[in-house]
Amino acid sequence: MSTKKIAVLIGSLRKESFNRKMAKVLVELAPASLAPDIVEIGDLPFYNEDLETEQAPAPWLAFREKIAACDGLLFLTPEYNRSVPAVLKNALDVGSRPYGQNVWNNKPAAVLSLSLGALGGFGANHHLRQSLTCLNVPVMQQPEAYLGNAPTLFDENGQLTKADTKEFLASFMQAFAAWSDKFNAA
């Protein structure tokens, strides 16, 4: 079985983002069958169809190539006003255009939402899933991953401190590997 390239997309740009810290934990916990790599989205100009010419913005083109070359997607998102941050929605828009050239198409995905509040980004998680459905991205249904009270999960060095959370995340990544296998059997 070959190793699958997984694009990890983080919906927070903050330097000390809890979602970025969690992405690093998930990369470490990934089974050997997955090769997760964080794909940065903060430098993508906002999508504007007027710029969709033969000289489209270089960051768009590079981003599309990275996503097209991957075998799966792992999304981490905070919740902003019960939805996903604009930077993450912009990445979805950039990757889905120009019309008919959707680089997200049929790539297996998993979503983890992480927030300061107790609900664990439930609204953002489901808004992201709704957009991914439109983009024909098959999203893993179980286990669902909504992690709340983010500041209590990490120590001052960004290390995960809760054993039960680490155990859950390891099982989440194992489930994602199995989910990914269903779409990448060749």
Residues 6+ apart with CB under 8 A from 30: 6, 36, 173, 177
Pairwise CA distance, residues 12 & 123, whole Å = 16
* Helix 86-96 / helix 122-134 crossing angle, nearest 10 deg: 10
Q: What is the DSSP letter of 16?
A: T
Q: How confident is the model at residue 1, as a pLDDT?
A: 59
Pairwise CA distance, residues 168 & 147, whole Å = 11
**pLDDT tens across 109-165, in order?**
999 999 999 889 999 999 999 999 999 999 999 999 999 999 999 999 999 999 999
Domains, the chain, in order of start with CATH, read 4-183 (3.40.50.360)
Is the peptide bond between 143 and the residue preceding it cis, with omega within 30 degrees of 0?
Answer: yes
Rounded mean pLDDT of 163-172?
97
Quote the pTM value. 0.96
Strand stretches in the chain, DSSP E:
4-10, 34-38, 72-77, 109-114, 145-147
**pLDDT tens across 50-86, in order?**
999 889 999 999 999 999 999 999 999 999 999 999 9
Q: How confident is the model at residue 54, as a pLDDT?
A: 86
Give me the half-sphere count of Cα atoms (radius 13 Å) on the Cβ side of residue 138: 12
Handedness of CA 69, 101, 185, 130 (dihedral sign): positive
Can you tell me which residue has the tokens 């959370």? 165
